[in-house]
A and B are shown apart, each in its own frame.
Chain A
Amino acid sequence: MNQKSRDTDIPAVEYLDSRSAQGPAGSLEELHKRLLLLPPYRWVTQAITRSGLSARGILIATPYLWLLLFFLAPFLIVLKISFSEYAIAQPPYTALFEWVDDVFIQIRLNLENYQLLFEDDLYWRAYLNSVKIAGISTFLTLLVGYPLAYGMTRAPRHWRLALLMLVILPFWTSFLIRVYAWIGILKKEGLLNLLLLNLGVIDQPLVIMNTDMAVYIGIIYSYLPFMVLPLYASLEKMDDSLLEAAADLGCRPIKAFWQITFPISIYGVVAGCFLVFIPALGEFVIPDLLGGSGTLMIGKTLWAEFFSNRDWPLSSAVAVVLLLILVVPIVAFQKMQEKDKAA
């Protein structure tokens, strides 16, 4: 029965043979027919046909295998190493699985790294501080991004595409370079202090560089496009006649903003905040270049633990806990998007 039904299915090779179209596809089929005369090619094509692997199967398998190999497998390795012990060896960690008499696998789970993360206040302070810095800078990015997105939707229609392009363009240019640009502005003898001193606004140079303030500025600057784009998308849909109606009925502009505009844009606000908060949490370059030695952020801690202390198991544990923290906002964001799609 099974055999019979298989026979009625036209195999992919025969299907291709039966088509003799002109053009480049036709010559490809011609080539395929000629190559079938060669035994190795015939065997391979027959094997593919017999195994049920279609073009579709191969198409699915390639990117799938790639991601399994270079995305999922590395994570499992991080998880594994986070349970092993630091050792002065090459690579610098102990084995988790060991063969005993070639029969049993001995598993040695070592929870010390995780214990250290909770006991040593350096680590949990770094986590808390990352959440704090990411949270404050997300709020500040909203404060800067909202008027910009609002202004863009109020601009003449034929400008809007160009304005959007102007918001996206910095996102394409190097992150490192954009952060670097701020060093020359913010440092003690930098351009900002030079300007303010010459204007007579201050008589002592401001200390911004190497403080949390500089990190806030760096994050706002780097992630502003992520905030502005969803805000713009949600504000653009707003119907102007709502505001006109409110004004006609004697509603003051500020009240109208909080009662009409802001609630309409709430999806953009929340989406923008997630898009800034999530990457800011694990940020390394900005706190490293703009922040000071007192700026504790977990991305920096992980980097130092890995490159300076060479403690691979501990940095793996730091990474695993950071991921667990990140899961919360990521899942919340996904839930929100699904709800929006359903609505």
Chain B
Amino acid sequence: MANKRFSARAIAERFDKMYEFDRERVTEDKFLSGGKFAAFFAGEHVAATEFVIGPMFVLHGISAIDLFLGLLIGNLLAVLSWTFICAPIAVRVRLTLYWYLRKICGPGLTAIYNIANAFLYCILAGAMISVSATAIGLAFKVPCPALTDVLPNSVGWVVITLCVGAVVTLFAILGFEKVSQFSSVCVPWLFTVFIGGAIVLLPRLGNISRLADFWHIAQTKIWTGIPEPGQDKFTIWHIIFFAWFCNLAMHVDLSDMATLRYAKKWTYGLYSAFGMYPGHYLAWICSGIMVAAVARKMDPGLMAYTAAGLAGAVAVVTAGWTTANPTMYRAGLALQVVTPNWARWKVTLVAGTVTTILSCFPVFFLRLLDFVAIYGLILMPIGAVVLVEHWIFPRIGLRQYWAEKSGQLVNVPAAATWVLTLGLCWLLLRVHVIPHLFFLWLPGYFIALILYMVLASLFGARAPVEYRPGFAEEKA
């Protein structure tokens, strides 16, 4: 009985049930206007992470020109990825990634993908709890961990993160609709905290009466090109790649199919620019200015408090909370399917407890850039598998959706592509063929594309499939 309950098939069935509500293709009457997409992207990309990423670039010794140019190019590449990779598939199939993945990879592998995603969500939520804790720590005079800290630096820090984590978990248990609504209220105001905070702190770095003065201060006081002790030196390439891959899960890994399937046409992917340039260009630049004005101390709470007083501290707490909450809710929902019929609240409680414990360790928010790189990298091979099967298979005479048509629970070539690609990526980094984690996903993506084409053609996609309605077959 227990074996039956925990079998891959049973887990996959529970996932199907969970996503049942968005199983249908989006119909024409449900298409959304471009304005809705602009608002969606603008709302999604001004969050707590922006309080960490901008300052990290400063501390990694990027120069001003490299930052401004690198962000311009990297964000453009991200917008193009949404437009040319994610949106065209989304408007052709009009399904969420979950259901499309199920057709390509089989329900078993889709379930594994979802569980991996849930664990990554927990770590991200943990980092956001830590960011919120830096603001609450100010009120209790608890020092923020140092840049190189891995373990908690004080009992006070542990107590605060545990308390914040408990509150976030409680709200995640109660559901996230209200928090999501509250988050939409926060976004426009949060943006003014970034912009206003940077403007008001600029005079602390030097006298500015014309644009040339700003550029001089930018080069000599903010993005000086000199990294803090213990930090790698970033170049324009690090910035380009980071800006490109920091939402890899959404564009190249196709998570945003869930949203873009409502688009009238694939060019709606261009609306992602409304999220990228205010959030990942202006907000990162503004938070970089703010960290320089607080003596380059990596403390989001202190930074925002110095810039906007109590409102700044509230901004950090709410930004961290509203990011962590839905993330934890989704993780709980995804993990629910691997439990022995536990209620969602119980799973969310367990996920929240693990997340809260993780948040005590400052390494997760202080190494946020590396975590974001690893997050995108881990999911990337599956994005490549979908791309190959969608676009390349029909052109090279391979059979699309062959795993589904032959009733497979797990598309073995896809699973092998996932594991082998990550193994090869690790090797490339280990032997220093690729000099930095940030650059790994791109060669990894091409490796995954080729591997899946070869493996699928050898193990099932080439031969004519004998129709066998199996588990993976969609219900009529």
Partners in one complex: no
CB within 8 Å of B: which residues of A?
A: none
